[in-house]
Chains A and B, each alone.
Chain A
Amino acid sequence: MQIKIHRSVLEKNENQAEINRELFKKHRTLAVNVMGSPGCGKTTLIESLIKTLGEKYRIGVIEGDYAGTVDAEKLAAYGIPVVQLDVSSCHLNADFVATGLRDMPLDRVDILFIENVGNLICPAEFDIGDLLKMVLYSVPEGDDKPLKYPLMFSLADAVVVTKTDLLPHFQFDISKVKESIARLNSKFQLFKFSSKDSESIRPIAGFLEKEFRRLVGGSPEL
């Protein structure tokens, strides 16, 4: 006898992701899912954004790491709420993020960066309830990555090419990157960032401010 069932295997994660998303909206917290390969500069970018936006916005960070607390310690030094999640898997899921949210004072956080596990494949499959997806990728990784990891790049609201100070040393064509991402994504914005150039963070910070107004509304409650 055959019993018809029509259920998504990921339904538990999808349901929890919706609960997380509603929670972020209720607290007017812009939750940003920061994804990218190990070593692409996720923590460095978050650090720069804390420095640039920290005066105007209350920032919090959830750090998903496979091992070690190096990143969480580095960011906690800024005197902001940081929750470390020891992820025993290759990605964060909605349940795990919900666990981290218990220790995050959301009513006192305007922008929450959720640093996903360094990986361009798995985090794309698991909705964590974020309001914005930011994908980073660094110049040394090569300009063909959007073609190799199409799902991740198809979901991105913003793509940040990092370590652009290395452009003179690599064969890396930014216009090729832009076109490859556009093949599967009609909404993304592309940014260039170098930690050596303090001005390069401004357009990214400006984008987040705009998205804050659009997605959670109004100005931060400082």
Chain B
Amino acid sequence: MHELSVTQSLIDLILEEVEQRSIKSVKKVGISVGVFTTFEPYAINFYFETLKTEYPPLTDTVLEIELKPGVCRCQECGKDFEVKETVSNLPQCPHCGSIFVEIKEGREFLINYLEV
């Protein structure tokens, strides 16, 4: 539900780059969304397709969304481990089996590149 406002922020950011770099039209935009965010890639894409039509440099832009793995630190053995998929079940430490972990990375929502 909150993807509408973040997609608008994404578009504002792209337009800022487009203006600074005097770009006429953008072919592709690469973004990455961390697995521990609550931003649904499907919804971001849906809103992007809807909103982009209002901005001439973006009318033909394709959005490429990469799901970025997260990193957790085990609260018991202290080791870090990667979490590749969206958490439908809470992560568990693969080293010692503990279910008590801390999210270190995976809350990012980044714009990585523009293809022009």
Chain A: residues with CB nearer than 8 A to chain B?
1-13, 89-91, 93, 121-122, 124-126, 147, 150-151, 154, 180, 182-186
Contact = CB atoms under 8 A, between A and B. Distances in A.
A110 to B, nearest CB: 31
A7 B115 CA distance: 15
A150 B9 CA distance: 24
Contact of A182 (B9, B100, B110, B111): B100
B36 A151 contact: yes
Contacts of B111: 5-9
B73 to A, nearest CB: 10
B109 interface: yes
B102 interface: yes
B51 interface: no
A89 B5 contact: yes
A121 B101 CA distance: 20
Given A9-B111, A91-B2, A184 B103 contact: yes
Contact of B9 (A2, A9, A91, A154): A9
B110 A7 contact: yes
A8 B112 CA distance: 9
A202 B103 CA distance: 32
Interface string B58-91: 0000000000000000010000000000010010
Residue among A2, A89, A93 with max Cβ neighbours from chain B (10 Å)? A2
B2 A89 contact: yes
B2 A9 contact: no
Nearest to B16: A7
A147 B87 CA distance: 10
A3 B113 contact: yes
A4 B113 CA distance: 4
A121 B38 contact: yes
Nearest to A120: B38
Nearest to A12: B9
B39 interface: yes
A2 B1 CA distance: 31
A2 B29 CA distance: 9
Contacts of B100: 182-183, 186
21 contacts: A2-B115, A3-B116, A4-B113, A5-B17, A5-B111, A5-B113, A5-B114, A8-B109, A10-B109, A12-B12, A122-B38, A126-B2, A150-B36, A151-B36, A180-B90, A184-B90, A184-B101, A184-B102, A184-B103, A186-B100, A186-B102
